[in-house]
């Protein structure tokens, strides 16, 4: 009967685990992009380590390497920071735009560190946009499982009543999938346009505009006023304000849905 290998022999026969961490995780923490965004960058050949192009996301680094994105060196991750930014209309929430449109990130102060957004606001939307230097935090805060409520003030052309708006709380079918509950309140006003306050916990592409189209309302102004515990408040258009470290840590530890 053959001898059974001892535990040490068994472990020595296994492939050793790579040292360090995946490059996508490292660059996400450094505020370059989300992990998925970094993986897309790798596919496009935009990332180099020690002068060589990275061709697979299964690439591990120790943190001592020279890493460049689009030819620019990437510094090691700093302490997590978060900012409130009042996005005006006319800017796209991306670092570069194939159509040559103005971007949120090009409009930021020149002394800002490299940041990414927590979710997005489309070209014609305005209001509160959270920016962070930590891609892992961005992913956590924008994920529906976090349970944070996004609240918007919306102007739309058309007529409706509160009873019809209340039906949105049951969800609406978009692209073959029902949305999460949408809480819509009709605000006082007169004229051809109405104002609504709308709250939801997910951020599907143009969700509010598309949902209101199902009840014959055409959105012509959309302002995000809060995202989880963070408020737009009196922050002026194009202005930004950093969220204190203590408030940030408290918010990251908050239970889902807490405002």
CB 252 within 8 A of CB 118: no
pLDDT band of 98, cuts 50, 70, 90: confident
Just list the catalytic residues.
122
Same domain for 204 and 105: no
Whether 15 is in a domain gets the answer: no
> What is the average pLDDT value for the chain, to the nearest integer?
87
Whether 186 is in a domain gets the answer: yes
Nearest to 185 by CA among 165, 159, 164, 207: 165
Q: Indicate if the pLDDT at residue 136 is higher than 50.
A: yes
Neighbour-count burial of 230, counting CB atoms closer than 10 A to its CB (0-12 exposed, 13-18 middle, 19+ buried): buried
Same domain for 174 and 237: no
Same domain for 155 and 177: yes
Q: Indicate if the pLDDT at residue 71 is higher than 50.
A: yes
Same domain for 41 and 157: no
- State residue 194's pLDDT score: 96
DSSP state of 28: H
pTM of the full structure: 0.73
* CATH code, 204: 3.30.70.1560
Q: Indicate if the pLDDT at residue 185 is higher than 90.
A: yes
For the segment 177-193, the average pLDDT, to the nearest whole number, is 91
Query: Number of folded domains in the chain?
Result: 3
Q: Indicate if the pLDDT at residue 173 is higher than 60.
A: yes
Same domain for 141 and 239: yes
Q: Indicate if the pLDDT at residue 140 is higher than 90.
A: no
Residue 154 bridge partners (DSSP): 196, 222
What residues make up the domain containing 130? Answer: 82-145+230-253
Whether 7 is in a domain gets the answer: no
Same domain for 243 and 132: yes
Whether 113 is in a domain gets the answer: yes
Q: Picking from 33-42, 87-96, 169-178, which range would have the lowest pLDDT averaged per residue?
A: 33-42
Q: Indicate if the pLDDT at residue 253 is higher than 80.
A: no
Whether 221 is in a domain gets the answer: yes
């Amino acid at each position: 009967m053959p001898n059974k290998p001892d535990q040490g022999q068994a472990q020595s026969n296994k492939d050793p685990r790579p040292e360090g961490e995946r490059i996508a995780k490292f660059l996400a923490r450094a505020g370059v992009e989300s992990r998925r965004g970094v993986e897309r960058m790798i596919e496009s050949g935009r990332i180099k380590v020690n002068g060589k192009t990275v061709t697979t996301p299964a690439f591990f680094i120790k943190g001592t390497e020279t890493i460049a994105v689009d030819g620019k060196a990437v510094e090691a991750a700093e302490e997590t920071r978060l900012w409130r930014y009042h996005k005006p209309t006319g800017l796209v929430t991306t670092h570069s735009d194939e159509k040559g449109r103005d971007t949120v990130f090009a409009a930021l102060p020149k002394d800002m560190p490299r940041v990414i957004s927590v979710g997005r606001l489309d070209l014609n939307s305005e209001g509160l946009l959270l920016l962070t230097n930590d891609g892992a935090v961005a992913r956590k805060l924008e994920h529906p499982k976090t349970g944070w409520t996004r609240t918007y003030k919306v102007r739309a052309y058309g007529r409706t009543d509160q009873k019809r708006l209340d039906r949105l709380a049951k969800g609406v079918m978009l692209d073959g999938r029902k949305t999460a509950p949408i809480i819509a309140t009709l605000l006082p006003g007169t004229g051809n346009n109405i104002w609504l306050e709308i709250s939801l916990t997910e951020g599907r592409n143009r969700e509010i505009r598309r949902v209101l189209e199902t009840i014959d309302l055409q959105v012509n102004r959309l302002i995000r006023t809060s995202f989880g515990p963070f408020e737009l408040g009196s922050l002026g258009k194009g202005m930004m304000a950093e969220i204190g470290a203590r408030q940030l840590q408290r918010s990251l530890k908050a239970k889902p849905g807490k405002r």
